[in-house]
Amino acid sequence: MRHRIKTLKSGIKRLIPKEHTPLNQSYVERNKLYNSTRWKSERRKHLDNNPWCVKCGKKANTVDHSKMHHIGIDEFGNTWLDYFWMSEFYRSYCQSCHSRKTTQEDQQNKPQRMTAAARAKILADVKSKNQ
């Protein structure tokens, strides 16, 4: 995995995996879609047709995408954007079930902490390549 060095305002240097840097753009695109009039209409339509939480059966107020979460590129070359408007992947959740599900997914997909020795080796590699 390739890394880049990022200097924070405090002067502390951090190693950032290079493949994680484009996600900021992906995050901006995702927010634009979720704030769009089309998404709000799709969400309302889905909740009208599927008003109950798929987990607990309470009144749903959140629509989740079952397929697109945590997709970089799938085995067919599709990205999360290819799945965004596919209503067959929408799932209705109440707020508490959605929060619980998201927390569990975030824990499962949380990157492993790097040991100090591994961090030092990567830092040395990055410095040698930049010289």
Per domain, the residue ranges of the chain are 39-130
Is there a contact between 53 and 99 (Cβ–Cβ < 8 Å)? no
**pLDDT of the residue at 22:** 46
pLDDT at 21: 44
5-23 pLDDT, tens per residue? Answer: 666 666 676 665 555 444 4
Q: What pLDDT sits at residue 50?
A: 96
Query: In a structure prediction context, what are the per-residue pLDDT tens digits for the chain, which is 131 residues long?
Result: 455 666 666 667 666 555 544 445 566 777 888 899 999 999 999 999 999 999 999 999 999 887 665 556 667 777 777 778 888 889 999 999 999 988 887 777 666 666 777 777 777 777 777 66
Q: Is 102 exposed, middle or buried (0-12, 13-18, 19+ CB in 10 A)?
A: middle
pLDDT of residue 60: 96
pLDDT at 61: 95
pLDDT of res. 52: 97
DSSP per-residue letters across 37-84: HHHHHHHHHHHHH--B-TTT-SBP-EEEETTTTT-SB-TTS-BHHHHT
